[in-house]
Amino acid sequence: MDVARGPHRSGTLFGYEASPASRASKIGRNIVGADADCKGLAAEAKPDSIISGKPLEKPDHLPSLLAELRRLATAVEALSPHRAPVVADIGDADAYHWEAASDRLIAVNKVSRVAYDLLKGIDDVRQTLFENTLNFARGYGANNALLWGARGMGKSSVVKAVHAHVNGLAAPGLTRLILIEIAREDIESLPRLMRAIAPLPYRFIVFCDDLSFDRDETSYKSLKTILDGGLEGRPDNVIFYATSNRRHLMARDMVENEQATAITPGEAVDEKVSLSDRFGLWLGFHNCDQPTFLAMVRGYCDAYGLTIDDDTLRARAIEWSMTRGGRSGRVAIQFVRALAGEQHKAL
């Protein structure tokens, strides 16, 4: 490789015009060439000089090569990505998905949700979350909420249903409420999202479904600071709702590891609950009994106009739950979908 002999021209890199669009693609080729030159330098070294410990003679083009490598390092540093401040683009949609890789909000024009009144067997937690969300929409005090417990019992469904229910109220003093879903893998980008939506004249529920942390994950430590305890704190127009099958969001082996390395037993307990403590509302969801399950099924059938007598519905719903290995809201809606298919109806 002929490494940029002659005077170095301004705006060039290794003798090429280094426009911003072309510089990155040329850097890779030049690195390969520089590596080949370095191998050539090693081949030119005399074995007796290495053995005797005498300094190797430097080829004439080595200073030029080092100079070009320094320029290469400077160019690579200049091309390194610098995140610009995120500008949240809020349109007519009331729900968005946060895409952390591109720092943008993607509108969700049709949210997959269950109607508020169709959520059976969770009346108490539904009412508590509704009141918390309504207070937040009015600008009053409200808490971050952790919805934890049995799978399929409506943890994420109640968040989406409450959001739609509050937005549908024609009550004075309510600010537009926007739901933003953030993936668990993108939790570390939560500060960027909050900074972007903090200046906007709306109120936001940032929602993370199935939030939990496994061994070797450290993002839960940053989440603790984001929710409560950091310098910035949570913006006044943002509240954080999360669902999880785990009461304290961390796997059992993580807690046991903390206990093994703790100086005192209380230290392990503190670490165990320190993340879930950031949530002012703890709403537990438990497996439902058979009457509640049957009430869910009947409620769905009536809402979607499915015709079936009570005795047949009861027998078939019980049989379905036994084949699924449990009773839950998810199992109920799955049975109703199958029943709707038999009756050639869409849900």
Report helix angle 310-324 to 290-303, nearest 10.
Answer: 120
75 and 99 in a single domain? The answer is no
Residues of the chain with pLDDT under 50: 1-29, 31-32, 34, 38-39, 41-52, 56, 256, 262-263, 268-269
What domain count does the chain have? 3
> Residue 47's pLDDT is what?
47
Where are the extended beta strands (E) located within 172-224? 177-181, 203-208
178 and 299 in a single domain? The answer is no
| Strand-strand pairing, 281-285 and 177-181 | unpaired
Whether 233 is in a domain gets the answer yes
221 and 318 in a single domain? The answer is no
- Residues 218 and 131 sit within 8 Å (Cβ to Cβ): no
Surface-to-core class of residue 331, CB atoms within 10 Å of its CB (0-12 exposed, 13-18 middle, 19+ buried): buried
Whether 314 is in a domain gets the answer yes
132 and 221 in a single domain? The answer is yes
Q: Which domain does 105 fall in, by range? A: 95-285
> Residue 233's pLDDT is what?
72
117 and 183 in a single domain? The answer is yes
CATH number at residue 183: 3.40.50.300
Q: For residue 244, which phi and psi values (nearest 5 degrees)? A: -160, 150
226 and 250 in a single domain? The answer is yes
221 and 173 in a single domain? The answer is yes
134-146 pLDDT, tens digit each: 999 999 999 999 9
5-60 pLDDT, tens digit each: 444 444 444 443 444 444 444 444 454 454 555 445 444 444 444 444 555 455 66
Whether 175 is in a domain gets the answer yes
279 and 149 in a single domain? The answer is yes
Which residue, of 270, 285, 300, is where some domain finishes?
285
